[in-house]
Every structure is written in structure tokens, then in C-alpha cells.
Amino acid sequence: MLFHHALGLTPGVETFAELLRAAGHTVSTPDLFEGRTFDDIEAGVDHASEVGFGTIMRRGAEAAEGTPAGAVYIGFSLGVVPAQRLAQTTPGAGGAVLVSSCLPVGEFGESWPEGVPVRVLATAEDPYFVDEGDIDAARQLAADSPDAELVLFPGSGHLFADPGHASYDAETAGLLVDHVLELLAQVDATARG
């Protein structure tokens, strides 16, 4: 399950989902903004604030109803909120990929669930990730959980994996895809036992 960033369910998010589908994975892309898209991050964040982050999380949870055990929850930026919550609170979650954002684990429980792999992936100089404290939450998660890994790519792009955004970086986006596919293969191998 792939949750979009603050620009909404853009063609770039769908393009990323298609890359995962082409590798043989089933990927759903819930629209947390109910059709709205935005040209800049601040406008999207303002919309999310107006709608309410509780509503965003509820929409994410509703979209995940009926998701099979072993599902991996992926979130880009704002989409990390429902992805992280679902990965931390859904019994049988397979894993999580948190891109360009990370909340303190205490937001959704006392600790990261044992045996649920999580990767936090961001650019090392992303001002949203660094200046807003996400990097600190990610470092704490990686320090506290043997199932967690923080990967920092060179650069400062926030939406570096969305080809429709100015901060898109094809090389870094390719590295992100590699990391996601690696985690999905790990989860698949664990499920097969």
C-alpha cells in the first residue's frame, strides 16, 4: 500500500507504484485527498491541516481495511503518517518504507513492533526531513529497533522520487526503488518461511 505525499495522488506517485507492479507486486494507491492535487508542498500541507491529520489517518485506515497479513505500508512525506501508523498498529504487518519523513515511534505505540522491518529513506540535506526533526526520530528508531534502518542519500530533494516535482532526481529515485524492492523481497522470503 503506497500513500501519497502532500501534493496528492500525482501521476508521479502512480509512476512509482507502476515500477513496483512491474516487479510483480500488488500495489494500491489510496487517495487521501479525494481527488485534490497541489502544485507546491505548502499548499498541500495547508489542505491536510484543514482536513485534519486525524481524518487523513482515518482515510488511510479505511483504505487498508481487508489488506492481507504481510502487507507493506509505504509512505511519501505526508503519506508516512498513515503508513507508519498502520505498520506499527496492524497485527501481521509485513513492513514499512518511510520516505522523507518519520514520526517518533511514541506517536503510535511504545516501540516499533518486533519482526516488522522498516526503512527510513531520505536525502541527507532535505530541509523538511532535517529541520523538522524527522531525522532525529529516524535515528532513534534505527537505534532502538534491530528491524529498522535509516538510509540517507546525497542531496536535498524532498520529493526526489516524483518525476513531476522540481526536486526529482532520477538516480536517487532509482536507489529508492532498489531499497524498496529489497525490503519487499525480504518480506516475501519471511512469509514463505
Q: Residue 43 pLDDT more than 90?
A: yes
- Geometric angle at alpha carbon 61, from 60 and 64, rounded to 5°: 90
Backbone phi, then psi, for 120, in 5-degree steps?
-105, 120
pLDDT digits (tens, 9 = 90+) for 11-29: 999 999 999 999 999 999 9
- Residue type (1 letter), 16: F
Could you tell me the pLDDT band of residue 47, with boundaries at 50, 70 and 90?
very high
Domains in the chain with CATH codes: 2-188 (3.40.50.1820)
Q: Residue 98 pLDDT more than 90?
A: yes
pLDDT (0 to 100) of residue 62? 96
Percent of the chain surpassing pLDDT 70: 99
Report helix, strand or coil for 109.
coil
pLDDT digits (tens, 9 = 90+) for 150-187: 999 999 999 999 998 999 999 999 999 999 999 999 99
Q: 144, 145, 175: which is closest to 157 by C-alpha?
A: 175
pLDDT (0 to 100) of residue 119? 98
Q: 74, 80, 171: which is closest to 123 by C-alpha?
A: 171
Q: Which pTM was predicted?
A: 0.96
For 36-43, what is the mean pLDDT? 94
Could you tell me the pLDDT band of residue 190, with boundaries at 50, 70 and 90?
confident
